A and B are shown apart, each in its own frame.
Chain A
């Protein structure tokens, strides 16, 4: 399922998008009222509207503040048109006018408009003059739909599981067949051997008796040279493993701690394709990538209070994910019922995964903004990680390897212009690695 946030992206040419996004909480109200008006307009409108298009429009324009069944920044909108007509006697005209210019209506002193404005803490709804009558029809048609019973998700999951099983069985089959084949072969050899011996016996050919030999270990012990070589080999081998053990000390590759909130990069960065730097924005300008502050989470999670049924997997149920969102609300002090902040916060104590020692300087901005390195280059396939783990070893050798191989991104950067020109003149090449530009000097990272 597409998340409302993502669907904003669907229509990139719409300039209103930005505005909507910024004043999210200001304007949603209005839309609800527009929708309310719709209901009163006519039944035929509902019939003519296309709920599927309506859903897309709703997600683009309204979902940031409205939900069908739940009061958010603005009121719940299911059957808004009908309700408005029945309860307030306001027709579709009113609703249209409200959607397109709610603040105007509030100013003009429309009683119900003012009431809604007061009720929703005086946050005026964004005006949507760009929505045509047809669009409004579609949206209202969507809001007039009956609540669907979730069923599809379970089916999907089962199918996936089946597929996985099929794959497993086919592998096993091949392996089993191979095993049987080897068994048959061995048996065949045995039979051949036995038959040949029988022939020999029959023809009175004497098989040479095997001389009783010195046991192998005695021979080994007697051979001083072999003992020496073996000892050296053993020592070397153990030294290799001991060295290997010590070298991995302090390297936490694959470190995957349990976090206080189960945050899934897979859902956010993968399925919803949210840009890494939307949350880790300081990676662009600072040495730290920054763990996003909770108000960033709330940019979206103010309206996303539950996951779609399709998001749930066999391992993590929808209830589990919804519970994790509740943890966020508790930490940030968000009261879902009032749609307001309580002011009581409990900062989240994340477990830090990527730990560089104090004596190593690393600057995210340099790699992200200047060099244009993808986050995934060091952090691995984050968009596939249900639980975040350390992908790279973060050792000095690993850093240096990359600095040796990677060419400096000098294009369109005034800073490099002069240096680059001089260097290419001197060495007659066009590209330089970070190492050649001095990226291996101790003091570049250790101070």
Chain B
């Protein structure tokens, strides 16, 4: 009897009417083989003067010639310094403390320079409160070597000298001085005491000067609310490590909310210690990084968020508010309120709703709670823009009231929603000057372009938070003929002093109070001991009554259509670094999609509108286009169906759709600023399906764990505290002679164990509780290890080269635990409870509100590595220090290792990615190659590569210790990722040093190895995720 068993090669085949299966059935190869192209035309072949014989001659000759030529080595020149600077020793890195402050990202950092070239940004561990370097800050070093930078001052597109530039502008300013028309300075938020003073002096000299501070992504409402309440224009500072209950309504505080930098405090509270960890409840519409990390995530439309906040106010503080929420939501809000109240001063509430009432209510609730996490003393200074001023400026420009506009650090033609009006206004202005690094949208239409230096070439000072200062110092001589805004201001102010002396004077007289400037410069940070507290609580009289604010908030939220929430992506921010290939190729932590922005939409809405996502035969993701319009402004945007997106809402990221000052390949996505009307990130939008499909470069196709709880171990705090470790974090058992034996038992080992007890033995611990998925490590790894950028097309072919990726998984049930139960309870192959249908079902994430988990994944450096045994040329081998070595020069590119790796962390160089015009990213020009780390080989075509545990760094540490004749202390060993992780999620070290942190983590009861049952004995360990699910 013939069996009716059906074999299937992929789940795709099981789907009825799958187009892929059909296509594949008819074709042997996925792509057309172009034989016709070169053999089809017989006439052409006959007409050719090159006979077959000639062809062979040429081939023979050129082969011989090439062989002979290859025998001769090239002559390599070495050019030493004429006078070697005494701080530079070739081959030894120097570190300088400085501050990144580009108007959007602010961070105290250390910059590693080699032979005078900055090559990497690292965290400044001396900085107490300031933000750790995020992915964009880590990537900013590449911006220094951008080949499209403006190389000198320009007038109407022609290069001029600085003298001409200064003379021209001084003359024009002189004629405008004290006149009817204003001189406007339109700048980013500098948060710089010295710049503020310079601008004040400029105002005094010229009289009719207006200074407009403009943040591309505005925090104006929060600033207003804070100013009204605390009499100071700044943002409320929160330290989440001090909170046991965190409620957030629409605040994506793990990324860029209020300038970012809250994640390290948050992570501290998330690691269970003494049976406690913080509880985090998130109400939001888009699936954000913050929501993904929350213990409880409630999808809510922006309109509902306002009502929820008002209700929360009434439940916590009292009073009644209008507005209705569905019963279940109302209960959730009530529960959150009771949890907050219970937590008392350990609770904290934050919101991202850009509405002065919402922000006032939040400040009021935190005050009512007496929240310890809320710190009104150290006000955040890194956002100061006022949207009212900007709106007024645009109308004044068009009314001809502005004589001169001088812009620095802003790109309003790109970032303003009404950029056409602004452009028109610029034409009516006599003098337009743009301080810019690139010929971007704004500077390319300005009369004068003042070439600005990169942050790493500049002097400066920043007051990040009140009383917490940072100094900026150049880490390289300006590469081009550039002058910074402040230098030119000094010229206009007719002050002969240099800008760094100016800073020094100001700091010595006003900030340092007797401490050494050089010390502050060395440290890069300075904390004022007793900053005069609160310039004024004087404005109490004008304070908005919170009750009234809550009522206003709750009313008038009837929403007809779909609500759009605009947000900034972890990789791209406000878009000023759009020409940075590292960031373009950085996969978004949530969607895992690079090289694009897109409309995130819920499955239900997508279904209604007929929008789809589908995988094509090569395994790449395609998505429908949608036409969206906000008050008449229309955009055609590709769509990604986002699990967890609140129904009736969509999301779209800023920072894409740039049109000037960047390479063709980087012109990706659409410009969401066009929809940012009235600087309100929430807009009502009309959506309809558009024509065609968009090709995405998505690096992760498997969205769920399919119930394999082994990969991400997680448990709840309750279980963690009460049950035995064996219950929630068991060591896998395998069958040995039909007896279940622990996989850690030496008897089940195929291999003899190598004694690694002497010397160093490196281990890396990744704490899934502390990891927020921010991706700083991914970029740090790029910078440290010369990882190439391959471009969108190659990423679509799954040829991305990231040595370190952060896998993101959704649960297909309400929780991952649910997934496991569901899979285990499947019975038989077919039928309703059969494994086939169950698995098919589990493929897609829970649409409404899945749980999310992040898992940084790099080479696991297995002690019994499957890759090593299959390499025919022994190119990959193991060291006694626990690192899995990869000798590139030995590799012949069979790719057996990648196929045999259970973790899929090996990367193959399909092409030569450096000095290849096909891959015109940073490694294709001399300037871009300056960022390359000289201690790491640039890989060539046809070799395999992978994470090396930053062996160049561990070796450096060992070599230095040997040279200095000392033992190595714990903490000295670092990898790029562990050093970049400000959240303490990654700990690297020597497990043979029993006192080391990593050795203790190895004994932690949360510790598990990935796919331990395979018996690979990895040197990377994970700390199981614990969720605080219990409602208090």
- Check if A373 is an interface residue, CB within 8 A of chain B: no
For A361, the chain B residues whose CB sits under 8 A away are 935, 952, 955
Asked, given contacts A347-B80, A359-B889, A446-B888, whether A412 binds B92 with beta carbons under 8 Å apart, the answer is no
A293, CB-defined interface residue at 8 Å: yes
Residues of A within 8 A of B329 (CB): none
In the complex, whether A203 has a CB less than 8 A from a CB of chain B is no
Task: For the complex, give the distance between the alpha carbons of A384 and B891 in Å.
Answer: 41
Q: How far is the CB of B597 from chain A (nearest CB, A)?
A: 36
Q: Would A366 and B959 count as touching, CB distance under 8 A? A: yes
Q: Mark A297-338, 1 if CB is under 8 A from B, else 0.
A: 000000000000000000000000000000000011100000
The answer to whether A443 touches B885 (Cβ under 8 A) is: yes
Q: Output the nearest chain B residue to A286 by Cβ-Cβ distance.
A: B91
CA distance A415 to B890 in the complex (A): 32
Chain A residues 343 to 379 lying within 8 A of chain B, measured CB to CB, are 345, 347-352, 355, 357-361, 363, 365-366, 369-370
Q: Once the chains are docked, how many angstroms separate the CA of A139 from the CA of B890? A: 66
What's the A-B contact tally at a CB cutoff of 8 Å?
150
Cα(A291)–Cα(B888), bound, Å = 28
Task: Name the A residues within 8 Å of B964 (CB-CB).
Answer: 415
A242 to chain B, nearest CB (A): 13
- Binary interface profile of A, 420-437, with partner B (CB < 8 Å = 1, else 0)? 001100100000000001
User: Which of A110-118, A230-238, A249-257 interfaces with chain B?
Assistant: A249-257
Once bound together, how far apart are the Cα atoms of A363 and B962, in whole Å?
Answer: 12
| Closest B residue by C-beta to A248 | B71
**Contact pattern, B 302-332, Cβ under 8 Å of A = 1, otherwise 0:** 0000000000000000000000000000000
Q: Is the CB of A295 within 8 A of B83?
A: yes
Partner of B77, one of A252, A290, A349, A413: A349
Interface presence of A155 (CB below 8 A):
no
**B968 lies within 8 A of chain A by Cβ:** yes
CA distance A296 to B964 in the complex (A): 26
A167 at the interface (CB under 8 A from B): no
In the complex, A442 has a CB within 8 A of chain B = yes
Tell me which residues across on chain B come within 8 A of A163, comparing CB atoms: none
Kindly report which residue of chain A lies nearest to residue B90, judged by CB atoms.
A288
Per-position 1/0 for B970-1000, Cβ under 8 A of A? 0000000000000000000000000000000
Asked whether B84 is an interface residue with its Cβ less than 8 Å from the other chain, the reply is yes
Name the CB-closest residue of A to B92: A286
Nearest Cβ in chain B — how far from A327, in angstroms?
Answer: 13
- Smallest Cβ-Cβ distance to B757: which chain A residue: A422
B365 CB to closest chain A CB (Å) equals: 54
Name, among A332, A333, A415, A447, the residue most crowded by chain B CB atoms within 10 Å (CB to CB). A447
**What mask results when residues 572 to 613 of chain B are scored 1 for a CB within 8 Å of chain A, else 0?**
000000000000000000000000000000000000000000
B29 proximal to A (CB < 8 A): no
Tell me whether A438 is interfacial, beta carbon within 8 Å: yes
Chain A residues whose CB sits within 8 angstroms of the CB of B959 once the complex forms? 363, 365-366, 370
Q: Which of B465-473, B745-753, B874-882, B1017-1025 contacts A (4 or more CB under 8 A)?
A: B874-882
Tell yes or no: A264 within 8 A of B by CB. no
A402 at the interface (CB under 8 A from B): no
Residue of B nearest to A291 (CB): B80
Picked from A287, A291, A438, the residue with its CB within 8 Å of the CB of B881 is A438
**Does the CB pair B89–A282 fall under 8 Å?**
yes
Inter-chain CA distance A252–B74, complex, in Å, is 11
Give the docked Cα–Cα distance between A294 and B935 (Å).
Answer: 26
Chain A residues within an 8 Å CB radius of B888: 359, 446
B78 in contact (CB, < 8 A)? yes
Q: Is B937 an interface residue (CB 8 A)?
A: yes
Q: What distance in Å separates the Cβ of B326 from its nearest Cβ neighbour in chain A? A: 58
Q: Which of chain A's residues have a CB closer than 8 A to the CB of B66?
A: none
A286 and B90 contact, Cβ closer than 8 Å, known pairs A413-B962, A443-B887:
yes
Q: Chain B: residues with CB nearer than 8 A to chain A?
A: 71, 73, 75-84, 89-92, 757-759, 875, 877, 879-881, 883, 885-890, 935-938, 948, 951-952, 955, 958-959, 961-968
- What 6 A-B pairs come out closest when comparing CB atoms? A443-B885, A286-B91, A293-B84, A288-B91, A293-B81, A291-B80
Q: Could you name 22 residue pairs across A and B whose Cβ atoms are closer than 8 Å?
A: A285-B92, A285-B963, A291-B78, A295-B83, A332-B82, A349-B78, A357-B889, A359-B887, A360-B889, A361-B935, A365-B963, A413-B962, A414-B965, A415-B968, A417-B967, A438-B759, A438-B879, A441-B880, A442-B890, A443-B886, A444-B955, A447-B935
Given contacts A347-B80, A438-B879, A447-B951, 15 further A-B contacts (CB under 8 A): A285-B92, A290-B91, A293-B80, A294-B81, A345-B82, A349-B77, A351-B76, A352-B76, A359-B937, A361-B935, A415-B965, A415-B967, A415-B968, A442-B877, A447-B885
The residues of A with any CB-CB pair to B shorter than 8 Å are 249-250, 252, 257, 282, 285-288, 290-296, 331-333, 345, 347-352, 355, 357-361, 363, 365-366, 369-370, 412-419, 422-423, 426, 437-438, 441-444, 446-447
